[in-house]
């Protein structure tokens, strides 16, 4: 990846989970910029630059989207579907980060072209390790098309 800070769009309705993920990325991933939205409609507004996110300065293109599965307003699978159906967005890696291990949820996410499906561990140390590894893989080792 280039030398600019990595932009992460965190789509998470649980404030505690969002704060914890932001804290872990902040402590261990250095120069990342994390933008947090708490529902599916706001996620789509952000990536399609609508409403409060109309200005590109308020909605820089993310290098990674972390998408919780259970969201208010618009379902996460619909968010995923719309992102992956849009030519200028489909190359952005979208990783589902959820508490659900249900086979139907996993299948639904992959049917809508998620790049990964990760189940949040309940243990803080394991969650910290997972978030660090997400950052290492998706923001350091994985090669993407430049902005």
Q: In what order do the strands lie in the sheet with 116-119?
A: 33-37, 7-11, 64-67, 94-98, 116-119
35 C-beta neighbours (distance < 10 Å), count: 17
- Domain regions of the chain by residue span: 7-140
Rounded mean pLDDT of the chain?
Answer: 91
Please identify which residue in the block is written with the tokens 């993310």. Answer: 62
Based on the number of CB atoms within 10 Å of its own CB, is 85 exposed (0-12), middle (13-18) or buried (19 or more)?
Answer: exposed
The alpha helices in the chain, defined as continuous H runs, are 15-28, 40-47, 76-84, 103-111, 124-134
1 or 63, greater pLDDT: 63
Tell me which architecture the domain covering 7-140 has in CATH: 3-Layer(aba) Sandwich (3.40)
pLDDT digits (tens, 9 = 90+) for 60-109: 999 999 999 999 999 999 999 999 999 999 999 999 999 999 999 999 99
């Amino acid at each position: 990846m280039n030398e600019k800070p990595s932009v992460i769009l965190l789509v998470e309705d649980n404030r505690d989970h969002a704060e914890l993920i932001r804290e872990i990325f902040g402590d261990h991933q250095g120069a990342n910029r994390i933008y947090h939205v708490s529902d599916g409609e706001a996620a789509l507004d952000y990536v399609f630059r609508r409403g409060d996110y109309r200005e590109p300065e308020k909605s820089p293109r993310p290098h990674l989207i972390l998408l919780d599965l259970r969201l208010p307003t618009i379902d996460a699978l619909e968010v995923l579907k719309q992102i992956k159906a849009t030519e200028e967005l489909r190359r952005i890696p979208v990783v589902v980060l959820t508490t659900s291990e249900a086979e139907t949820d996993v299948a639904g996410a992959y049917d809508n072209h998620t790049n990964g499906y990760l189940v949040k561990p309940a243990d803080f140390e394991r969650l910290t390790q997972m978030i660090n590894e997400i950052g290492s893989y998706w923001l350091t080792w994985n090669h993407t098309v430049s902005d």
